[in-house]
Amino acid sequence: MTLLENHLEQIALSSAAIAELPFPSPKIFTNALLHSHEITALIRDTEAHERALFTIGPSDQISRSSTASIARRSTVHGLNGAGEHYTNSGGLMRTHRSGSAVATLLGGELGEQIRREGAKESKERGEVDVNLLLKGAEKLCGVYPISGASERIALLRSRYEQLNSSISRYEGTISKQMAQLVKINKHKDHEGIYDDVEDDEYIDENVEEAEGPEELHVTEEDLRREDEEIRELEKKKRALEDRVSGMERDLGGLRR
């Protein structure tokens, strides 16, 4: 037992001596290769999609420098920043984000807007910013070319603009028709009140003020025709909204 204790003591002393050994800092050549240059700058004839896989976004570059310094200290001392031993040092350099190549291509602001739109759409069924999605799809197709994708994006954009203008035009027409219907209903209410009033002078004065040149000959047939026109316009508006929803589904398939 005494012999074993001597060996254990010798092993502990050797381990402490190894942990306290000084290691030199990285030299000029190491910094030139690893510190300030992307790996794709050292490889010839790289494609755009290959460079995207090895490109780090601006937010990741700050965290990479701090992570590298922690990993260097762990190599020297065997400890992390809190003074504890590492159990898996390989997990330090592992990226914590999925789809970093796509996020880098989209850019910080555009990628953040798309993520916000996706989160908003998952929480509640709302409108989708089609122009934003098409812009992101164009950027991705510039790096990962897909046959026919550019023509399809241009077609979707033109369809979206046409449907948007049509919806705005029909909404304006519906608002105008609703205002006319309100005026007609007010005119009918005034007529009912005037029939119950016995003062002829009061009737003559207020009828002249309430009735306009277009409201003198309003019949039930006119009211029914106005209601039918409003229903027809609302039906067209719903059809256009369904077409816009179909475009959104096409965009979702294009993103996948």
165-196 tens-digit pLDDT:
888 888 888 888 888 888 888 776 665 555 55
Residue 246 amino acid letter: G
What is the rounded distance in angstroms from the CA atom of residue 79 to the CA atom of residue 74? 5
Residue closest to 97 by CA, chosen among 70, 59, 62: 59
The number of residues making up the chain comes to 256
What is the rounded distance in angstroms from the CA atom of residue 233 to the CA atom of residue 229? 6
Distance from the first to the final alpha carbon of the chain: 67
Q: State which H helix or E strand residue 204 sits in.
A: helix 200-210
What is the rounded distance in angstroms from the CA atom of residue 111 to the CA atom of residue 108? 5
What is the rounded distance in angstroms from the CA atom of residue 92 to the CA atom of residue 224? 74
Strand partners, 31: none
What is the rounded distance in angstroms from the CA atom of residue 253 to the CA atom of residue 92? 35
pLDDT at res. 3? 79
Entry pTM:
0.39
What would the pLDDT profile of 52-78 be if each residue is shown by its tens digit? Answer: 666 655 555 555 555 555 555 454 444
